[in-house]
Structure 1
Amino acid sequence: MKQYVIFLFLFSFSVSIQSQENDPIRLFYLGGQSNMEGFGYTKDLPDSLRSNYDNVWIFEGNPVPDEAQNGGKGIWETLKPGHGTGFTSDGKTNTLSNRFGIELSFAKQLQKLYPNEKIAIIKYSRGGSSIDSLAAGGFGSWEPDFQGKSGINQYDHFLTTVNNALKTTDIDENGKKDHLIPTGIIWMQGEADAAFTEAIALRYYDNLKRLMDLMRATFRTDDLPIVIGKISDSWNSDVGKVWKYGELIQYAQEKFARTDTNATIVRSTRYYKYSDPWHYDSIGYIDLGKQFANAIYALCKQ
């Protein structure tokens, strides 16, 4: 049986404890593929996003292909630039990269929306990964039942990331046990499922719904708010249209946001410029983080 059954048993952590002596911290999960992993350059960051993330912590799981044994390793640390593509962790030391994703502007905007509250971010994202196993290639699949060669896939790495993150019960090291409050899932993915066949793209809605239901179950919150980032296409001058079945994925994403009572979608991606045929430029990631923060806040206020 998959490890997520064991994980759900282990998940009886401080979320279920209501003692006022515990330290309340809002918990957000960031997941998906490369445009969640982050291809912004830290050298492009404005001074306002380089530091001053007081009361914001991040646990990023080591992103690796399916089959790898070291996926999901990480440690909690105060948020800072460097959690984009190229980030690695061996579970003892985080090695930051010269890239960033949405996490910086996302956290900065959350600090404004939730003043004086503590924020925890769990991130696991893998560039090129699909949900459908037939679109995984060498990047990986989020299909929970995909066995591959060893039975380890991106969903397993997600579970390992969350499990490892929640082993620490005092992430801010203030001597109080954390009361982590699952507040939202932010999901930026779908490009890989748009790149292969019409049949794969047509399965995306069902695949996305099942995956989001399982992620909600992992955080033991059936109606946990979810924000989906709508994929877009660069229409690169060299290759033309990049995602052959992108419109089908966009339709599925819109359908999910329309039919799930506690989900919404961010559409600002259609206006972003690209640093290459597949990835937004630094300005795009900064805006996307803000849009995600505003969207999850609005959902939580409903």
Structure 2
Amino acid sequence: MKFSILIIFSVSLSILLGCSKETEETHIFILMGQSNMAGYGELLPKDKILVNKVFMIPTIATEPYAWQPASHPLHNRLSSDRFGLGLPFAKEYLKSHPNVTIKLIPVAWGGAAIDDLNKGTKTYNDAVKKALFAENEGIIKGVLWHQGESDTVNEELANSYEDKLHQLIIDLRSDLNKPKLAFIVGNLAEFYGTGKDHNSKERLKKIDQVKKALRDLPTKVEYTGFAESSDCKSIDHHMVHFDRESYILLGKRYAQEFENLINK
């Protein structure tokens, strides 16, 4: 009798422990794009505080890769030593997924056109290699993309932007073997094109063209989402980059778009 009770207790304990492990997943997100994904907001001393349950692989990292607790700045190359939307996204995501650990792969590059980020480029290959490494420890849930400013400089780039973006999504899903990989894009800033450097009639037309490609993405490619940039403000006189509060707002919007996508 005692032996039977012991078996039942052991099985029950194993089931409980197993269920506990299943609820604690690791979700992986890749951060791609140019400077507005890397972050350009004011960095405050409190932003150096590590964010609980969020980890990252540094942008500049050599193999063997190692995870480290995440804090701002997520990106560590060029001028990407500032506040961005990646951690606001992670904090918002944790509100809906409290039992999850988040691991971020930040690979954005300031000033990069989409031709600098698509399949075959160093940045693309870096993102895929890190994501495949990360998959050993969790589930690749999605890509957060904010990019396009550099593709508004001439008509050829603007005209080809949509096709290149769609192909990049196809390539990532294929190389990561994730045909339904979520891909969330953010709109270029509403104020982009109002500064003295980018406000010619011809430039505004190309800016609108890239914006339309981003906005139309969910109607043309499955498992994609679009985060609006309305009510955001600029930090610089060029009227290109968002300020700190805007990155917080954008991070929340990316998280909401992801929830909308997985709950369809």
Q: Check whether TM > 0.5.
A: yes
CA contact (8 A) 1:61 1:72 kept: no
Distance 1:256 1:193 in 2: 16
Contact map agreement 1:130 1:190 (CA 8 A) in 2: yes
Matched, 1:78 2:69: yes
- How many residue pairs align between the two structures? 238
Cα distance in structure 1, aligned partners of 2:232 and 2:62? 31
Q: Partners of 1:224 and 1:252 in 2: how far apart?
A: 19
In the TM superposition, what is the alpha-carbon distance from 1:128 to its structure 2 partner?
A: 0.8
Q: Alpha-carbon deviation of 1:237?
A: 4.6
Alignment of 1:25-36 (within 5 A): 25-36=26-37
- Structure 1 gaps of 5+ residues are 1-19, 63-69, 90-95, 133-140, 146-152, 170-176
Distance 1:229 1:270 in 2: 11
The residue identity in structure 1 corresponding to 2:241 is H
Aligned counterpart, 2:88 = 105
Q: Does 1:119 align with 2:77?
A: no
One-letter amino acid of the counterpart of residue 166, structure 2: K
- Residue 124 of structure 2 corresponds to 158
The CA distance in 1 between the partners of 2:195 and 2:128, in whole Å, is 40
Residue-by-residue CA offset, 1:237-279 (whole Å, 9 max, x unaligned): 5335275411111111122221112111111x13211111221
Structure 2 CA distance for aligned equivalents of residues 72 and 101 of structure 1: 25
- The 3 A distance-change label for structure 1 pair 116 and 51 is farther
2:249 aligns with one of 280, 284, 287: 287
CA distance, structure 1, for counterparts of residue 176 and residue 162 of structure 2: 21
How far apart, in 1, do the equivalents of 2:83 and 2:63 lie? 18
Contact 1:26–1:117 (Cα < 8 Å) also in 2: yes
Name the residue aligned to 1:248.
209
For the residues of structure 2 that align with 1:128 and 1:97, how far apart are their CA atoms? Answer: 11
Higher helix residue share: 2
Amino acid at match of 2:126: T
The residue identity in structure 2 corresponding to 1:300 is: I
RMSD between superposed Cα atoms in Å: 2.9
User: How far apart are residue 288 of structure 1 and its match?
Assistant: 0.7
For normalisation by structure 1, the TM-score amounts to 0.70
Cα distance 1:72–1:32, how it changes in 2: closer, same or farther (>3 A)?
farther
Q: Which amino acid aligns with 1:158?
A: Y
How far residue 52 of structure 1 moved from its aligned partner, in angstroms, is: 5.7
Residues 1:220 and 1:111: Cα distance change in structure 2 (over 3 Å) = same
Q: Which of 264, 275, 278 is equivalent to 2:235?
A: 275
* Alpha-carbon distance between aligned partners in 2 of 1:202 and 1:98, rounded to the nearest angstrom: 32
Deviation at 1:215?
Answer: 1.3
Shift of 1:158: 2.9
Q: CA deviation at 1:97?
A: 6.8
Output the amino acid matched with 2:129. N
Structure 2 SS opposite 1:100: coil
Please name the residue that 1:65 is paired with.
Answer: none
5+ residue gaps, structure 2: 1-19
Which structure has the greater CA radius of gyration?
Answer: 2
Task: Report the Cα distance in structure 1 between the residues aligned to 2:63 and 2:157, rounded to whole angstroms.
Answer: 27
Corresponding position of 1:188 = 146
The CA distance in 1 between the partners of 2:86 and 2:178, in whole Å, is: 22
Compute the TM-score of the two structures, normalised by the length of structure 2. Answer: 0.79
